[in-house]
């Protein structure tokens, strides 16, 4: 583990039944000065794997509260800075070196890193967002939220180009786990704040309870502590659920309502474009897809970032719309733009027959 003249970093993890991936995560921590791990009840060889890398392995009784577990293991870190990591995360050599470099002149209280949560067939991230990844070892560094936990920012923040990759093993399913935790807390009389309602509503929708989830998210929008980014993403989730329920007009209104909370996001305007295409209104659809090309990256505000929604997706859809509008030159330009981004994409390959 690295030792530098500047800051020191304790990597803090909570784990359970992670023997298949934990070693992979721990092998890439050359920048770390200390590794501390809390096991919340493993029934496999997770703790044995952990002890190959550190002697600071603790037992923590699981209480349906991720924040409590993370705060416990943060209390065991002794370095200047504390970094959280999940067992199925990966820090590449390039990003490990960046963290070592950052340590040399660390000044921030909170370092934000990109979290790459999905990838295409070439390994390019398709779904990323900033997370508070490294924080000063300070009493203010406290986790909140029993599910989808986070650290409330404090002091000086720094956004970096350091990336952490989320690489769960194929076939792993944790569907329903978070929803069960939310429901158990509700049964105990918990009252959810706006952030908890946002995530609870999403969990309901993702687990098939769409009408209930739509109602929860719509109720969250008027709460005084609702975060505008959650309102926008929540309305996108609601609109997509409404589409799946055959409620296209309601979905359009949900997409449009998101404009009340902030600058239009590419995912929203692409959704409006798809709804217009479903009505065979290619003029309106082309308007929305062109708008998506002009949308900004809002990940530094807390958005879930899907880069293809600001480039590849609208170009692919514009290819179809402009062709249907007999603007064949415009369709060809859109196709060529998509081809430059993803030459092996199935839609790009299919469209070549019309332009080559």
Q: Are 243 and 285 contained in the same domain?
A: no
Place of tokens 């309602």: 197
Asked whether residue 322 is domain-assigned, the answer is yes
What pLDDT band is residue 5 in, cutting at 50, 70 and 90? low
Mean pLDDT computed over 43-62: 98
Asked whether residue 267 is domain-assigned, the answer is no
Q: Are 147 and 64 contained in the same domain?
A: yes
CA distance 231 to 253: 14
Please give the pLDDT value at position 248: 98
Asked whether residue 269 is domain-assigned, the answer is no
Q: Are 18 and 58 contained in the same domain?
A: yes
Q: Are 114 and 192 contained in the same domain?
A: no
DSSP per residue over 266-334, as a string? HHHHHHHHHHHHHTT-HHHHHHHHHHHHTPPP-GGGTPPB-GGGGTHHHHHHHHHHHHHTT-HHHHHHH
| pLDDT tens digit sequence for 187-221 | 999 999 999 999 999 999 999 999 999 999 999 99
Q: Are 155 and 182 contained in the same domain?
A: no
What pLDDT band is residue 287 in, cutting at 50, 70 and 90? very high
| pLDDT tens digit sequence for 297-326 | 999 999 998 999 999 999 999 999 999 999
Domain count, the chain: 3
| pLDDT tens digit sequence for 131-186 | 999 999 999 999 999 999 999 999 999 999 999 999 998 877 677 899 999 999 99
The last residue of one of the domains, among 166, 188, 207, is 166
Q: Are 291 and 332 contained in the same domain?
A: yes
* Domain ranges, residue 17: 9-166
Q: Are 37 and 91 contained in the same domain?
A: yes
CA distance 274 to 286: 10
Asked whether residue 63 is domain-assigned, the answer is yes
Query: In the predicted model, what is the mean pLDDT of the chain?
Result: 96
Q: Are 194 and 123 contained in the same domain?
A: no
Strands (E) across the chain are located at 9-15, 34-39, 57-59, 81-84, 89-90, 110-119, 125-136, 143-144, 150-151, 157-166
Asked whether residue 152 is domain-assigned, the answer is yes
pLDDT at 89 over 70: yes
The enclosing domain of 224 has a CATH number of 1.25.40
Please give the pLDDT value at position 1: 44
Asked whether residue 321 is domain-assigned, the answer is yes
Please give the pLDDT value at position 3: 43
- The span from the first CA to the last CA of the chain, in angstroms, equals 55
Asked whether residue 106 is domain-assigned, the answer is yes
Please give the pLDDT value at position 4: 42
Q: Are 233 and 313 contained in the same domain?
A: no
pLDDT over 90 for what percent of the chain? 92
Q: Are 32 and 123 contained in the same domain?
A: yes
CA distance 241 to 219: 16
CA distance 179 to 201: 9
Q: Are 155 and 179 contained in the same domain?
A: no
Mean pLDDT computed over 344-354: 94
Please give the pLDDT value at position 170: 80
Asked whether residue 211 is domain-assigned, the answer is yes
Q: Are 181 and 152 contained in the same domain?
A: no
Q: What SS3 state is found at 126?
A: strand
The enclosing domain of 135 has a CATH number of 3.90.550.10
Please give the pLDDT value at position 2: 44
Please give the pLDDT value at position 286: 99
């Amino acid at each position: 583990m690295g030792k530098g003249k500047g800051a020191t970093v304790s990597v803090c993890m909570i784990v359970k039944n992670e023997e298949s991936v934990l070693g992979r995560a721990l092998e890439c921590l050359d920048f770390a000065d200390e590794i501390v791990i809390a096991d919340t009840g493993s029934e496999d060889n997770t703790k044995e794997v952990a002890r190959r890398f550190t002697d600071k392995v603790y037992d923590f009784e699981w209480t349906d509260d991720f924040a409590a577990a993370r705060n416990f293991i943060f209390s065991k870190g002794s370095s200047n800075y504390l970094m959280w990591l999940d067992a199925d995360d990966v820090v590449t050599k390039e990003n490990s070196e960046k963290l070592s470099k950052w340590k040399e002149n660390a000044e921030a209280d909170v370092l934000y890193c990109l979290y790459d949560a999905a990838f295409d067939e070439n390994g390019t991230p398709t779904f990323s967002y900033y997370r508070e990844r490294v924080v000063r070892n300070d009493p203010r560094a406290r986790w909140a939220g029993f599910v989808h936990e986070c650290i409330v920012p404090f002091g000086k923040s720094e956004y970096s180009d350091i990336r952490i990759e989320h690489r769960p093993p194929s076939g792993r399913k944790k569907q329903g786990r978070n929803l069960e935790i939310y429901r158990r807390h509700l049964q105990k009389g918990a009252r959810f704040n706006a952030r908890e309602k946002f995530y609870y509503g999403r969990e309901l929708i993702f687990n098939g309870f769409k009408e209930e989830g739509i109602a929860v998210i719509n109720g969250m929008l008027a709460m005084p502590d609702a975060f505008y980014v959650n309102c926008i993403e929540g309305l996108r989730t609601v609109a997509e659920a409404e589409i799946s329920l055959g409620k296209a007009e309601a979905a359009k209104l949900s997409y449009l309502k998101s404009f009340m909370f902030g600058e239009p996001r590419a995912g929203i305007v692409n959704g409006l474009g798809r709804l217009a295409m479903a009505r065979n209104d290619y003029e309106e659809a082309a308007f929305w897809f062109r708008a998506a090309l002009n949308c900004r990256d809002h990940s530094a505000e807390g958005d879930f970032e899907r880069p293809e929604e600001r480039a590849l997706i609208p170009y692919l859809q514009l290819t179809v719309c402009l062709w249907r509008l007999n603007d064949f030159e415009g369709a060809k330009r859109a196709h060529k733009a998509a081809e430059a981004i993803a030459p092996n994409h199935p839609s790009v390959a299919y469209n070549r027959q019309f332009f080559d």
